[in-house]
Structure 1
Amino acid sequence: MDASHFFLLLWTGLIFWVLGQIWLVQIVTYPLFARVGEADYVAYHRFYSRHIPLPVILPGFAAFLTPIPLALLGPAVPAWMSAANIVGGVIGLLVTVLLEIPRHARLEKGGKDMGVIVELIRFNWPRTMSITLQAVVTLLMLRHVLVGG
């Protein structure tokens, strides 16, 4: 196995880690935000925010950014696969930075706000779908590299 194939295998592990996380966030974690009482909400959200950097934030941002070096340093795959993977990463990054982080900041400062929680869940769908797309494309990349075209 050469370095480009090893890079693809590392990417596969990363994107499937992030895929599991994003679906857990979408269907469990964010909906639970609505179930926390107002009096405990800021402390709850701060606890959440302090504990997600290593298991969630770092792998998430790595999944948004790694498709570019993968396209350059990974094994040869059809250009559309690399492009779709990069687009998925860009969508995830933009949703995170422009939509999700500001809403988390509002919840952290202002406490429980059902309108913001609903937006957080709704605006997370494009990120969930983009990461899901990246995982599907990764399976196609693996098939292409391991089985051929």
Structure 2
Amino acid sequence: MELPQLLLIFWAALIFWVLGQIWLAQIVIYPLFAKVGAVDYVHYHRFYSQRIPLPVIIPGFASFLLPFALALYGPIVPLWMSSLNIAAGIVGLLITVMLEIPRHDRLEKDGKNDATISELIRYNWPRTLAISVQSVITFLMLCHVFERI
């Protein structure tokens, strides 16, 4: 197996990991934010924030940025696959930086706020869908590349 195919396999493992993470956050973790008491909220959010870099943040940002490397150095796939993968990554990155991170910062600084938690959940839907799109495209890429072997 050559480097481009190995890059695609690495990418697939990464994006499918991130897919599980984002759906867990959307369906379980973010809704649980509303269930934590106001007195313990800042401590809870800090505990959460300190533990997510390795399993969530690093793979998440990699999923936003690696589609560029995959398009340049990965196996040859139809242009629409690479383009849509990159576009979905950009959507995820913009939502994370412009909408999600500021709300997490607000919750960690100011404590529990039901409106902010609702926004966090609502604004995470487009990111969840963007990562889901990347996962479907990745599956199609795998089919395209490895059907020839």
The verdict on a shared fold, with TM-score over 0.5 as the criterion, is yes
| TM-score range for the pair, normalised by the shorter chain length | over 0.9
Matching residue of 2:96 = 96
Matching residue of 1:63 = 63
Number of aligned residue pairs: give it: 148
1:130 and 2:125 aligned = no
Report the TM-score when normalising by structure 1: 0.99
Q: Cα deviation per residue 1:72-113 (whole Å; 9 max; x = unaligned)?
A: 000000000000000010000000000000000000011000
2:113 partner amino acid:
D
Q: Structure 1 CA distance, aligned partners of 2:105 and 2:51? A: 15
Please report how far the alpha carbon of residue 147 of structure 1 lies from its aligned counterpart in structure 2 after TM superposition: 1.1
Structure 2 residue runs without a partner (length 5+): none
Overall identity of the aligned pairs, in %:
64
- Provide the secondary structure at the position in 1 that maps to 2:35: coil
Map 1:31-110 to 2 at 5 A.
Answer: 31-110=31-110
1:17 partner amino acid:
W
Please report how far the alpha carbon of residue 31 of structure 1 lies from its aligned counterpart in structure 2 after TM superposition: 0.0
C-alpha RMSD over aligned residues: 0.5
Which consecutive aligned stretches of 4+ in structure 1 deviate over 4 angstroms post-superposition?
none
Q: Structure 2 CA distance, aligned partners of 1:105 and 1:111? A: 10
